[in-house]
Amino acid sequence: MARRLQIAAAITSTADLEDQMKQIRNFVLVLIGLLATFSFIAVNTAAQNSNMSGDQMKSSSMMNSNMNSNRMMRRHRMHRRHRRMMRERNMMMKKDSMKKPDMMKSDSMKSPDMMKKNR
């Protein structure tokens, strides 16, 4: 009889241990689920924030680069136009000086041979 009581006590103690283990396991599973949910929410929030700031940076940098590019293109065009006009003016001055008769040229424009002829 004592033996049966020991066996019954052992069975009930193992049943209690099993119940405690099930409760602990369930609690740990719920805890892991909650942690996974919170970490998922945190990662998604961080990803959305970084995407938004990336879009803002991208759009502002695109606008800045576009403005700089337009400014540089305008500057480049103006510089080319200025060079072209100055070159045309210079070429016209050369043509005019070539057309002038030697008597009309200033002394600095005359060649040394012409200077000798005039004297």
Asked if residue 36 has pLDDT above 80, the reply is yes
Confidence (pLDDT) at 12: 67
Mean pLDDT over all residues of the chain?
76
pLDDT band at 115 (very low <50, low <70, confident <90, very high): low
Domain residue ranges in the chain: 2-99
Q: What is the pTM of this model?
A: 0.35
Confidence (pLDDT) at 116: 62
Would you list the DSSP string of 74-116? HHHHHHHHHHHHHHHHHHHHHHHHHHS-TTTS-TTTS-HHHHH
Instruction: With CA atoms as reference, report the closest residue to 97 among 88, 85, 106.
Output: 106
**Token digits for 59?**
């759009």
Whole-angstrom distance, CA of residue 24 vs CA of residue 34:
15
Confidence (pLDDT) at 114: 59
Summarize pLDDT for 38-89 with one digit per residue, the tens: 999 998 888 777 666 555 555 555 566 666 677 678 888 899 999 999 999 9
3-class DSSP assignment, residue 28:
helix
Whole-angstrom distance, CA of residue 87 vs CA of residue 93:
10
Summarize pLDDT for 77-92 with one digit per residue, the tens: 899 999 999 999 998 8
Confidence (pLDDT) at 14: 73
